[in-house]
Amino acid sequence: MRLLSITLLLTAIGAHAQTIGQNKSADAPSGYTLSVRSQLVVETVVAKDKQGNPIGGLTAKDFTLTESGIPQTIRFAEHQTLPSEARPVAPAAKEEIKVYKQLTRTQFAPETPENLRYKDRRLLALYFDMSAMRPGDQLRALTAAEKFVRTQLTEVDLVSILRYEGGSVDVLQDFTADRNKLLSILETLVVGEGQGDGESIDDASSADTGAAFGQDDGEFNVFNTDRQLSALQTAAKMLGQLNEKKSLIYFASGLRLNGVNNQAQLHATVDAAIRAGVSFWPIDARGLVASAPLGDATQGSPGNAGMYSGAAAQANQAAFQQSQDTLFALAGDTGGKALFDSNDLTRGIVQAQQSVSDYYILEYYTTNPTLDGRFRRIKITLNGYPDARLEFRQGYYAGKEFSKFTSVDKERQLEDALMLEDPITELTIAMEINYFQLNRAEYFVPIVVKIPGRELSLAKRGGADHTLIDFVGEIKDVYGGVTVTNVRDNVNIKLSDATAAELAHRPIEYDAGFTLLPGKYIIKFLARDDETGRIGTYQTTFEVPNLNKEEKRVPISSVVLSSQRVDYKDALYNAANAKDQAKAAAVNPLVIDGKKLIPSVTRVFNKGRALFVYLQGYEQPSAARPLLAFVSFYRDQTKVLETSSIAVTPTVSNRLEPASFNFSINLDQLPPGEYNCQVTILDPTAQKSTFWQGQLMLTAP
């Protein structure tokens, strides 16, 4: 569950300045810089006579192409010959299949002048959305793909296999005609993998789970649907590296939009497919469905009044229809065709196969290279063939510079960046992750993200009076690849002269909190300066231990080192409303007596400020007995300072009652330098102890 409190603060820790650029001196030699921008546009054209037969032998001079009414010079024209009745590849017996090592990739092998591997070939990409299919649907989809590869693959077909799960699109097999390689990949895909990211319907037909806490279903579904559409967009862009026509056969158990919240991403996905020359051929892996009015045995009873008014049955049917409507829109807008309500899923692949016949590839450099994001309408005619029928895309949207991005474009950019395997590191980001036990099952996990203020001061230099910082992140289970929770936020910072000067020397810290169960997780977090478009990414794995199983040592939380304690109500920015602040303060262990402790990410402290050390112990004795804790500082393996011990007696209760240790340490007596900080926790009665160590840097005031 994402905690309600999210805070942005200016910290007091200094940051080194960075030189971004320098002006030339008066006597520096002058020079000229020539900047040229060109944009290559690729069009595929199907040319047939009035009898429907392909027209061959055409060259670039036979076509007339205009973009927004302006004639364009066609630089290249190539004919792709694809016989409508190509011979099938000889079938392979199952025992002949060899198991090839499965290596995931993030791109397709390009075509080179020396190796025209895609010429006169039909390109079919089998795309399996494992996050959107239940195990039974996955089995049907894989079986259909195997049947096609075994019995209906022809000599002109090249097939690739893509898989989406765990937030990434992987190329399991590049385009190939090797039946053994394709079958090897299909037969080694695990049914049941990638589960957990599929939608959970939040309406009158939803099961009553009785959960007291949890991610808001509506917000979570919007995020997951965007991720599925964004994954399709990524696949289309990957295929767009190839100039030929591409058909993406999309196996999924429906795809349901959440009102208008996913429309922007849907349009972006369709636009990317059109621009890349990709047509979507969705196949509903659920097959022919006859569902019970109130849902089948895979979901619990709604348990609400909708069971008796008919609202639950109506919502259940509407959700199913909406999940197919999205697939229909994806197909219709990109030139493909969706397959619904059929148990023979292979028909959908065959339809995509038979739809691609002879066509021409035309390439030209547009005379309008401006990246304004506007629609460019294309018209193509054939000289000397007045009765010819031409099929081609009617236009495309030009790219955009960040300064011309709309709010929708910016949202898509963040989603794309979140899905990239190679992180964008234009902004510097550091993060600290801690954990505190809330009860026998749940743990509060606060995160603190630090961004150097000098990065944002660039917006002020550009004349902006404010800057918007966008944040997006997600936490996944490492082993299952399931998205557990996510965060999407933004902060508007006013850039007065005083604030801008302060930002140049101090970092900004953004903090949020989540409620998680014990386990191992991976977090990916992005921040973007909305004025300059610069993005920073932080990604790491972390573990929330199960402290209930700790028997040999005293179970403790993370140890937080800080030099800041601010009034909870006086934070520079808080995303929670007034009603939620009280709830957040009650849950957050770092809020003590109305003051919020801000963890230090860099562990750099100033001698002129106090060092706060905070932790919790979770020893639950049957009778009252104290826990002791003290802090020691070492330099060159020599103890230089040790605090007095603090004794805390946990309350004897059936509930979890943590013992909180809060140290305030004066560092004036220590010289600047690096130190090892050790926190020791003792249970003298049970003769148990725990030691925590960490490094810190002490600087002069």
Query: Do 173 and 108 touch, CB atoms closer than 8 A?
Result: no
Q: Which residues in the chain land under pLDDT 70?
A: 1-38, 84-87, 90-106, 113-114, 166-167, 192-223, 258-261, 264, 290-313, 315-317, 420-423, 454-466, 494-506, 568-586
Measured in residues, the chain has a length of: 701
Q: What percent of the chain has pLDDT over 70?
A: 74
Q: CB burial class (10 A; 0-12, 13-18, 19+) of residue 634? A: middle
Residue 63: per-residue pLDDT = 94
Query: Do 432 and 404 touch, CB atoms closer than 8 A?
Result: no
Query: Do 410 and 74 touch, CB atoms closer than 8 A?
Result: no
Residue 91: per-residue pLDDT = 60
Tokens 């030139």 belong to residue: 335
Report the 10 Å Cβ neighbour count for 459.
23
Q: CA-CA distance, 433 to 541, in Å (whole number)?
A: 10
Residue 201: per-residue pLDDT = 46
DSSP string computed for 485-526 = EEEEEEEEEE--HHHHHHHTTS-EEEEEEEEE-SEEEEEEEE
Centroid of chain to Cα 534: 17
Q: CA-CA distance, 46 to 81, in Å (whole number)?
A: 11
Q: CA-CA distance, 270 to 560, in Å (whole number)?
A: 47
Cα separation values, 292 from 66, 200, 298, Å? 54, 17, 11
Host H or E run for residue 467? strand 466-477
Q: CA-CA distance, 541 to 524, in Å (whole number)?
A: 9
Please, which residues have CB within 8 angstroms of residue 148's CB and are 6 or more apart in sequence? 346, 349, 350
Query: Do 482 and 196 touch, CB atoms closer than 8 A?
Result: yes
Query: Do 180 and 96 touch, CB atoms closer than 8 A?
Result: yes
Domains of the chain: 40-81+363-397 (no CATH), 94-357 (3.40.50.410)
